[in-house]
Amino acid sequence: MLKKCQLTYRNYMKPNIVMVDVGKWPIFTLLSPQEIASIRKACVFGTSANEAIYITHNDEVFVFGLNCSNCLGTGDNQSTIVPKKLEALCGKKINNLSYGSGPHVILSTEDGEVYAWGHNGYSQLGNGTTNQGITPIQVCTNLLIKRVIEVACGSHHSMALSSDGDVYAWGYNNCGQVGSGSTANQPTPRKVSNCLQTKMVVSIACGQTSSMAVIDNGEVYGWGYNGNGQLGLGNNGNQLTPCRVAALHGVCVLQGGRDCGLPLFSHFCCQDPRWPEHEDSLTVAESLKKEFDSPETSDLKFRVDGKYIHVHKAVLKIRCEHFRTMFQSYWNEDMKEVIEIDQFSYPVYRAFLEYLYTDSVDLPPEDAIGLLDLATSYCENRLKKLCQHIIKRGITVENAFSLLSAAVRYDAEDLEEFCFKFCVNHLTEVTQTAAFWQMDGPLLKEFIAKASKCGAFKN
């Protein structure tokens, strides 16, 4: 049984939400250095990440981009490469921001107000209509007396969390993602009660058609679409009301992540005194182990390059098909095992396990290549996309040929083509790097032949 512990809340970066380093997103190259320096919060959206909204340190709100989704909130469908100010939101001190692929945008302010705009075919804007919102409009019904501290978007539904721990949901409800007990769409915010009635919710998250909530004692509840078992309930039936994720019993969850089934746990990769220091063990801290009745039967040990990492079995089963299959086929969950990993390096495998906990990846491009190989082997398609984004954003003249070589080695065709075009476009510079001269003969010949066909060597 999980003992009540003091939770700490950190500003974890959700997918598409960028706090400081906006330079990694190509769309921000349209801004001047002064404009970039003024940004304190930003959201990149659109099918090709070609639209953006950002908030400055002075609490001014700007949007710019191609406006392919008609979701810039400027009152028209015109694209703009020059940032346009959303006057209605300036000075509102926006503290939370979310984007749904419908698409629609929802945000909350420090005063607890909620604003929304964008597509509204299923009333995901919460104003009781299905009319598109071309400018930001305050979500009033049932929320005016509440101070909202967090918002989240599914593809066509929305959620809000109030400071007193209540959850409100509205919009598309074909899979029960609104949590009302039916599949009828919800045109205005409705309090999610049922099992959450007496609970204090501290964090919320949305998948495309699923929803999740974290309680102040670390419990996790999920509802909505569950066709692939993403709610972690042990079945693949849709859930019309909140249901506790029993597999996480004994795990203290701090905060939810996007796409559902992505909790942040309080006990990953800490020093454990039971293992010798020279082995550089990374395991569950002894102090955190006191939270559990029987932690040893809940964890698995991975040994990679002589270093140890403890991972909770529930995380592996819920988040990774590769391990879920292994559990079902031949692993005895009561066995105390050390899983030897020899096909991947320690930084790569540690990053993979951390991804299962946080749904984020923090690796240099060179290591992300190895993680791409792992993701391919484990059929983790979302991780593969993350790795390729990291590699593409991190390409430089110095590492371009190394990344090209690795892309060829791991048969990543899209990445190979990207690296090849980069090398051709910067041919003079990259041919003067050490990586170019260290490339093996056959690959170098193939590159020269392909570049020649592209006209790279014409006078």
Contacts by residues 387-395 (CB-CB < 8 Å, ≥ 24 positions apart): 387/361, 388/412, 388/414, 388/415, 390/361, 390/363, 390/365, 391/365, 391/415, 392/418, 393/24, 393/25, 393/365, 394/364, 394/365, 394/368, 395/365, 395/419, 395/422
Of 77, 100, 250, the closest CA to residue 169 belongs to 100
pLDDT of residue 289: 33
Contacts by residues 414-418 (CB-CB < 8 Å, ≥ 24 positions apart): 414/388, 415/372, 415/388, 415/391, 418/392
Q: How far is CA 66 from CA 28, 119, 359, in A?
A: 13, 16, 28
pLDDT of residue 127: 94
Highest mean pLDDT among 3-7, 187-191, 376-380, 399-403: 187-191
Q: Is the pLDDT of residue 23 over 90?
A: no
In 199-303, which residue ranges form alpha helices assigned H by DSSP? 286-289
Contacts (Cβ under 8 Å, ≥6 apart) of 437: none
Distance (Å, whole) CA 14 – CA 443 = 38
| Helix, strand, or coil (residue 387) | helix
DSSP assignment of 311-365 equals: EEHHHHHHH-HHHHHHHHHT--TTS--EEEE-SS-HHHHHHHHHHHHHS-----H
- What is the average pLDDT across 218-229? 87
Contacts (Cβ under 8 Å, ≥6 apart) of 48: 68
pLDDT of residue 443: 79
Q: Is the pLDDT of residue 358 over 80?
A: no
Contacts (Cβ under 8 Å, ≥6 apart) of 416: 404, 407, 408
- What is the average pLDDT across 303-312? 81
Amino acid in the structure at residue 162: S
Q: Is the pLDDT of residue 188 over 90?
A: yes
Distance (Å, whole) CA 87 – CA 141 = 23
* pLDDT tier for residue 390 given thresholds of 50, 70 and 90: confident
Burial class (CB in 10 A: 0-12, 13-18, 19+), 313: middle
Q: Is the pLDDT of residue 21 over 80?
A: no
Does residue 15 have a cis peptide bond before it, meaning omega lies within 30 degrees of 0? no
On whether the CB atoms of residues 130 and 184 are closer than 8 A, the answer is: no
Domains within the chain, CATH numbers bracketed: 17-262 (2.130.10.30), 277-362 (3.30.710.10), 366-453 (1.25.40.420)
* Segment among 185-189, 211-215, 444-448 with least mean pLDDT: 444-448
* pLDDT tier for residue 151 given thresholds of 50, 70 and 90: very high
DSSP assignment of 277-291 equals: GGGT-BB--HHHHTT
Contacts (Cβ under 8 Å, ≥6 apart) of 386: 355, 361
* Segment among 185-194, 358-367, 420-429 with least mean pLDDT: 358-367
pLDDT of residue 331: 60
* pLDDT tier for residue 283 given thresholds of 50, 70 and 90: very low
